[in-house]
A = this chain, B = another copy of it.
Amino acid sequence: MQPHSTSLPRRRLLAGSASALAAAGLASFQGQALAQAAAPAAKPLPGYAGFKNADAVIVHSSTTIETKRSAFGTSVITPSNQLYVRNNLPTPNASIVADRDAWQVQIDGVKQPRQLSVAELKKMGLETVTMVLQCSGNGRGFFPSKPSGTQWTVGAAGCVVWSGVPVREVVKALGGVADGMVYMTGTGGEVLPAGIDPKTVMVERSVPLSAMQDALLAWEMNGEPISLAHGGPLRLIVPGYTGVNNIKYIKQLAFTLKESEAHIMSHGYRISPPGSKSDPSQPSVQEMSVKSWINSPLPEAGTQAAGMVQIHGVAFGGMHAVKGVEVSTDGGKSWKPARLVGPDMGKYAWRQFVLQAQLPKGTHVLASRATDEKGNLQPETRGENQSGYNNTSWADHAVTVTVA
């Protein structure tokens, strides 16, 4: 069962115009009925992700696993066994986590470049950050243009806790950043296929030097050593930046004059106009922006009983804290302020929101829109782009529920 991919027909209509909303609700149920009849068998979990809760995830492929929208709870933190996976290369052999403390990372572009083991890093500092980890393509499944790539809806995201050493502490211990450097460039430790130019496949991403301030070299996620699935034994964590910038199995962290020339940086993850090819002059997918969505009630729970309902979901600001969330039960015609519940785990974490509402008999289009502390409002429409990145449209994320 992949409830959200089955509701794409509705979402496409929904994205069109406000007047299509009522019809959209009906379209949704027709679409679901058709899709259920033809639903393919669920794919099995790949071995490296065998600890995932199969009931809580959608296995798109051996390297792409999505959290079901209905599985997001209200406890802020996404449990490791529900968190999405997106690997750009095959997962390394488990031997790299056999002796975690022995893993080495080369630090370059500092005054005293050197290689450091995880054991050495653990002596240099300790910090913990909670943040939203989100794939650049989360929400791609809502693009009517059907961009190529995994058709994620909302579940290529989670809120997790990382522990490690602040990058700034490591840099300080190595004499500071070398003069003139403007990027922080991380390189993954995946084994590359032989016989081809490494630049075409390697995972290497550059972020602005300013991102160093809150970045970690992390060895722990959600209270456990980072699993192989999530980049253990060591991962570069760049809070507020999309998933691909958080380099798994990091083997080199370099401060550089230029952006990486790896294809994944120069051409991958670029915001290209629809119909165009990507190139290095286009904006790179890096900082996340304000976004929210509702996780309950959902249409896949079936027809709801009329009466009180707790409409809840998640909201985050990317680089900034969430200031507030509004919820609509009429497809965006009117909005009410939702209540933020549960602990505030810092500006990079998401917040849970709840609106208590009476839903009478009928079809209701439920939507949420968040505002960050800088006053940025989550937009109604997505920013169209060739590859389906950065979808923050509240209309795309709306859900239609039927009450009888």
Q: Which residue numbers of A lie inside 8 Å of B, CB to CB?
A: 53, 56, 72-80, 82, 122-130, 161-163, 220-225, 307-310, 312, 341-346, 349, 352, 354, 356
The CB with the most chain B CB atoms within 10 A, among A53, A162, A308, is that of: A308
Closest to A72 in B: B223
Given the known inter-chain contacts A161-B342, A342-B161, A343-B343, please indicate yes or no for A126 contacting B74, CB distance below 8 A.
Answer: yes
Q: What's the nearest-Cβ distance from chain B to residue A253, in Å?
A: 20
B222 near A122: Cβ-Cβ < 8 Å: no
Contacts of A72 in B (CB 8 A): 223
Copies of this subunit: 2
B73 in contact with A220 (CB, 8 Å): yes
What chain B residues lie within 8 Å of A224 (beta carbons)?
53, 56, 73, 75, 79, 82
Question: Are the C-beta atoms of B220 and A128 separated by less than 8 Å?
Answer: no
Q: Is the CB of A341 within 8 A of B124?
A: no
Q: Are B82 and A79 in contact (CB under 8 A)?
A: no
Determine whether the beta carbon of A122 is less than 8 Å from that of B310. Answer: yes
Cα–Cα, bound, A53→B222 (Å): 14
Question: Are A220 and B75 closer than 8 Å at their CB atoms?
Answer: yes
Cβ-defined contact, B310 with A126, below 8 A: yes
Q: Are B309 and A123 in contact (CB under 8 A)?
A: yes
Shortest Cβ distance from A312 into B: residue = B126
Q: What residues on B are CB-neighbors of A307 within 8 Å?
A: 123
Question: What residues of B have a CB within 8 angstroms of the CB of A127 in the complex?
Answer: 341-342
Given contacts A128-B352, A308-B123, A310-B123, contact A161 B76 (CB under 8 A): yes
Q: A75-B220, A128-B342, A129-B342 are in contact. List 18 more A-B contacts (CB 8 A).
A: A72-B223, A73-B163, A73-B223, A73-B225, A74-B128, A75-B163, A75-B221, A75-B224, A76-B223, A77-B222, A78-B223, A123-B309, A125-B356, A126-B341, A127-B341, A128-B341, A130-B342, A130-B343
Q: List 16 A-B contacts (CB under 8 A).
A: A73-B223, A74-B220, A75-B128, A75-B221, A75-B223, A75-B224, A77-B223, A79-B79, A123-B308, A123-B310, A127-B342, A128-B341, A130-B343, A161-B342, A161-B343, A345-B345
Q: What B residues does A73 contact at CB under 8 A?
A: 163, 220, 223-225
What CA separation (Å) do A383 and B308 show in the bound complex?
A: 49
How many Å from the CB of A251 to the closest CB on chain B?
23
Contact A310:B342 (CB < 8 A) given known A74-B163, A220-B73: no
Closest beta carbon of chain B to A226's beta carbon, Å:
10
| Minimal Cβ-Cβ distance residue in B for A311 | B126
Which residues of B sit under 8 angstroms from A354, Cβ to Cβ?
Answer: 126
Query: Nearest residue in B to A224 (C-beta to C-beta)?
Result: B79
Report Cα–Cα, A221/B56, bound state, in Å: 15
Give Cα distance in the complex from A128 to B339, angstroms.
12
Nearest-Cβ distance from residue A396 to partner chain B, whole angstroms: 24
Q: Of the candidates B79, B128, B349, which one forms a contact with A223 in the assembled complex, judged by CB atoms under 8 Å apart?
A: B79
CA distance in complex: A78, B222 (Å): 8
A51 closest partner in B (C-beta): B81
Minimal beta-carbon separation of A313 from chain B (angstroms): 11
Task: Write out the residue numbers on chain B whose beta carbons fall within 8 Å of the beta carbon of A163.
Answer: 73-75, 342
- Please give the distance in Å from A232's CB to the nearest CB on chain B: 13
A312 to B122, CA, bound (A): 11
Q: With A73-B163, A223-B78 as given contacts, are A343 and B341 in contact (CB-CB < 8 Å)?
A: no
Q: Which residues of B contact A161 (CB under 8 A)?
A: 75-77, 342-343
CB nearest neighbor in B for A339: B126
